[in-house]
Amino acid sequence: MLTRLAPPLTGAIPHALRGICTATSQPSKPPPEPLSLSELDAKSALLPRLLSAGHVLAAGHLLSAALLLPGSLERLPLPALAAHLALLSTLSLAFALLTALRHHPARPSPLPLASPLLDGLLSRRRARDAASVMRWLCRTDSPRRPDAATYAATVAGLCRLEDPKGALAVLHRRVAGLT
């Protein structure tokens, strides 16, 4: 037989607890309004500063909120952000933002961020990092495969950096993506 450790609840307390547990939930607040275009322009400069301060999650949330607006992908300073990401010693922040784009409900194309990032990496002679960004873009769960111009620029950059093996791997991914 089990022994009871606490006395049984009697009276109004069980009824109050039952009422709390079974009460219908309060209507939640309406979702916040998306950023207006002027707010988007004002806050888009925060992305590089948030990343350099190590606030990747906040930068991802800001980018996600900004992408909910129509036409916001063209208004965001993605080339400047890509240039900033190419200056960093690792690609962890770049991949964090690319992954945030991949999981965004609107499924925007990662190419406006990835193409300038590839250019920046290749201009800084970081062929291995550029190849890893290209591998990420060619994944099966990527929202959009690289276009012909991105493939051509990457192959040309890898050849310029004397990395024929990387260039052939990119060409192989291109051919595999066409079939």
Confirm if 88 and 129 have CB atoms less than 8 A apart.
no
Q: Is residue 160 part of a domain?
A: yes
Say if 157 falls within a structural domain: yes
Q: How does residue 21 score in pLDDT terms, banded at 50, 70 and 90?
A: low
Whether residue 153 is predicted with pLDDT greater than 90 in this model: the reply is yes
* Beta carbons of 163 and 127 less than 8 angstroms apart: yes
Q: Which residue has the tokens 């590089």?
A: 48
The mean pLDDT of the chain is: 78
d(CA 59, CA 160): 33
Task: Give residue 72's pLDDT.
Answer: 67
Residue 50 falls inside a structural domain: no
Q: Is the pLDDT of residue 175 over 60?
A: yes
pLDDT of residue 159: 93
> What global pTM score does this model have?
0.70
- Hey, CA dihedral for 86, 146, 132, 157, is it positive or negative? negative
At 38 the pLDDT is: 75
Residue 144 lies in a domain: yes
Q: For residue 66, which of 36, 96, 93 has the smallest C-alpha distance? A: 36
**What's the structural domain count of the chain?**
1
Domain that holds residue 165: 78-178
Q: Give domain status of residue 105, yes or no.
A: yes
- pLDDT exceeding 70 applies to what percent of the chain? 74
Mean pLDDT of 7-19: 55
49-89 tens-digit pLDDT: 887 787 877 877 777 777 776 666 777 778 888 888 898 88
Task: Return all residues near 69 (Cβ < 8 A) that are at least 6 apart.
Answer: 34, 35, 36, 37, 40
Q: Does 115 map to a domain?
A: yes
Q: Is there a domain that residue 18 lies in?
A: no
pLDDT for the residue 45 = 76
**Helical ranges in the chain per DSSP H:** 12-22, 37-43, 46-52, 56-66, 72-75, 78-87, 92-102, 111-123, 127-137, 148-160, 164-178
Tens of pLDDT along 90-122?
A: 898 888 888 888 877 777 788 888 999 999 999
4 inside domain: no
